[in-house]
Amino acid sequence: MHGGRRENEGRRGAPRPTLRLLAPRPTPRPRRQNSGGRGVGRPIRGERSKGASVVNARAIWVPLLALTVSTAVWAGDRVVVEDWSKPRLGSRGVPDGWKGQSWGHPAYDLVVEEDDGRRVLHLRSRDEGSTITKEIEGRVHLDETPVLEWSWKVVTLPRGGDCRHADTDDEAAQIYVAWPRFPEALRSRIIGYVWDTSAPAGTVVRSEKTSTVTYVVVRSGPAQLGRWLTERRNVVEDFKRIYGEAPPSPGAVSVSIDSNDTRSAAESYVGEIAFTP
């Protein structure tokens, strides 16, 4: 399955509607003007404050704006998509700030926990698939932070899972970056970074179920089960390799787990997800 891939609509092997993982998307917010510290070192940004539109009319805003720009420059250089610090510890189901999928019958066996001294999302799947999505449109600028960094730990791999084939398309841990394009089901572009049971690490393959999704196998097999691993992928380079051109800013990030095609079970943990220089 995937965070952008099609889930089974009541039967195995059925086509999955693309990008339904994004759920109804709100009207895009106007993009911020470049303030000299755009998106540097802050968690994902919200809307521009109303007062910012009258900076020139009110002298009191000038020093405040200068302070804001200066702070953005030296505060850090990570754009944090999620660190699981806001959802209540022990909360179950779709975490606050995320959206569930609009297809299939997801169990959402997801729990915000602490593991090895960090806040994480604990995912379990038994003969089903669950995908959650967070909107990041206009908030991540790949010219400044092109590298996707995340930590994960896999405990159980779906038996016989293999992303190269439609009838075994199950993965225990999946992180997706999506670029929606109208019409979404036909033209969107989605890269899925997965820990596969069988496909070798380094495999890059288009999903047999959803043509808009391309898998990049980051980890494979049971050799490092039960261990926390931190991954770094240059999304710009991966996008160019797959699509032959430079990417625009991404629209969403998804986290997914599934085991329904293989009728088995899977279990994993996902830690912080961020874009970095």
**Is the pLDDT reported for residue 25 higher than 60?**
no
Neighbour-count burial of 128, counting CB atoms closer than 10 A to its CB (0-12 exposed, 13-18 middle, 19+ buried): buried
pLDDT tens track for 105-116: 999 999 999 999
**Is the pLDDT reported for residue 40 higher than 90?**
no
Looking at per-residue confidence, does 66 or 273 come out higher? 273
What is the model's pTM?
Answer: 0.75
Instruction: Report the sign of the C-alpha dihedral through residues 73, 79, 83, 88, in that order.
Output: positive
Phi and psi at residue 242, to the nearest 5°: -85, -45
Q: What is the pLDDT of residue 77?
A: 87
**Is the pLDDT reported for residue 27 higher than 70?**
no
**Top-level class of domain 80-276:** mainly beta
Q: What is the pLDDT of residue 76?
A: 52
pLDDT tens track for 55-80: 333 333 333 333 333 222 223 589 99
For residues 78-95, give the mean pLDDT: 97
**Is the pLDDT reported for residue 92 higher than 50?**
yes
> Are 217 and 203 spatial neighbours (Cβ–Cβ below 8 Å)?
yes
**Is the pLDDT reported for residue 186 higher than 70?**
yes
Strand order in the sheet with 99-100: 99-100, 129-135, 252-258, 173-179, 189-196, 213-220, 204-206
**Is the pLDDT reported for residue 142 higher than 60?**
yes
pLDDT > 90: percent of the chain: 67
Q: What is the pLDDT of residue 184?
A: 79
Q: What is the amino acid identity at position 109?
A: D
Q: What is the pLDDT of residue 36?
A: 40
**Is the pLDDT reported for residue 45 higher than 50?**
no
For residues 166-187, give the mean pLDDT: 92
Categorize the per-residue pLDDT at 187 as very low, low, confident or very high, splitting at 50, 70 and 90. confident
pLDDT tens track for 201-238: 999 999 999 889 999 999 999 999 999 999 999 999 99
Q: What is the pLDDT of residue 176?
A: 99
How far apart, in Å, do the first and last CA atoms of the chain sit? 30
